[in-house]
């Protein structure tokens, strides 16, 4: 009986870890897509350095949120 409970706990723990990893992967992909949209929307418009810095900051923020695991 003890072994059954131990194995069940291990399986539940593994499923939890997989779920968290999948959520983090999804958050990273979403942040990359948002950053890509920001960069693509600014191309070809002849924007100045100030707007480029703002874009870089927004991309960095999105990447940081993804790394931190904001889901």
Give this prediction's pTM: 0.49
Provide long-range contacts, Cβ within 8 A and 24+ apart, for 38-45.
none
- Give the whole-angstrom CA distance, residue 39 versus residue 28: 16
Residues 45 and 36: beta-carbon distance below 8 Å: no
Short-list 67, 64, 42, CA closest to 54:
42
Across the range 18-26, mean pLDDT stands at: 91
Residues 54 and 7: beta-carbon distance below 8 Å: no
- Which two structure tokens, joined as six digits, stand for 30? 């979403």
Instruction: Report whether pLDDT(45) > 60.
Output: no
Across the range 8-30, mean pLDDT stands at: 92
């Amino acid at each position: 009986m003890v072994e059954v409970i131990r194995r069940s706990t291990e399986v539940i723990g593994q499923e939890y870890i997989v779920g968290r990893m999948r959520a983090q992967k999804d958050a990273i992909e979403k942040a990359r897509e948002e950053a890509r949209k920001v960069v693509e929307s600014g191309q070809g418009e002849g924007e100045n350095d100030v707007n480029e810095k703002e874009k870089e900051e927004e991309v960095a923020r999105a990447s940081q949120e993804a790394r931190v695991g904001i889901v």
